[in-house]
Each structure stands twice: as C-alpha cells, then as structure tokens.
Amino acid sequence: VQVKVLPVSEKSRDYAHQVASKLEEAGVRVVVDDRDEKIGYKIREAQLEKVPYMVVVGDKDIENNTISIRKRKEGDLGAMTVEQFLEKIVPDRDNKVID
C-alpha cells in the first residue's frame, strides 16, 4: 500500500472513497480506513504499518475539494487537490523512490 485514505468522520467516508478511486485510476495502490476509530489512532496505525502517504479527509476538505497529506517521514504536508498530489506522487512511484 502506497497511500492510506483516512476519513475523519462518517460524513467524509463517501468523499474518501471518491479520492481513493481517483488514486487507483492513476495506478496508485490505495486503501481506505473507514473504521469508526479516532483519526489520531488511524494515523498512528498507518505510521506503524509504514504506509508512505496518509490522506486525511474531513469536512473542510470536502468543502474546498482538497485532501490533507501526511508523509510518514516528513509529517504534515498541508492541503492540496488530488491532481496536485498525483503530480507529486506519480513521478516518485515511477522512479521507485516512495519510502
């Protein structure tokens, strides 16, 4: 798994699945963690699983049509659109530098 999509609440689950399908279409290995757990717990689990990128989606992300990115080694990278994230991750994936 290269990316784990983490919805903050039940309201953001549909948006999380939409984001995941866009990433899958681009050839990214992605999983959605839509369990009823706190977001901090989901992030910690993804860190322990050594997932390179975590995409956190909440109410603000739905309003702004963005996603919040966390990289395992660098932490929070801020909010960006799915297209901006793909511009960043696809070259890394193609060059096999996703850690």
**pLDDT digit string, tens, across residues 62-92:** 999 999 999 988 999 999 999 999 998 888 7
The reply to whether the predicted model has a pTM over 0.85 is: yes
Alpha-carbon distances of 8 from 22, 83, 89, 92, 94, rounded to whole Å = 19, 21, 22, 27, 30
- Res 16: pLDDT: 96
- Assess whether pLDDT exceeds 70 at residue 99: no
Query: For residue range 23-45, what is the model confidence (pLDDT) as tens digits?
Result: 999 999 999 999 999 999 999 99
Per DSSP, the three-state class of 55 is strand
> What is the pLDDT, as a whole number, of residue 10?
92
Question: 98 pLDDT exceeds 80?
Answer: no
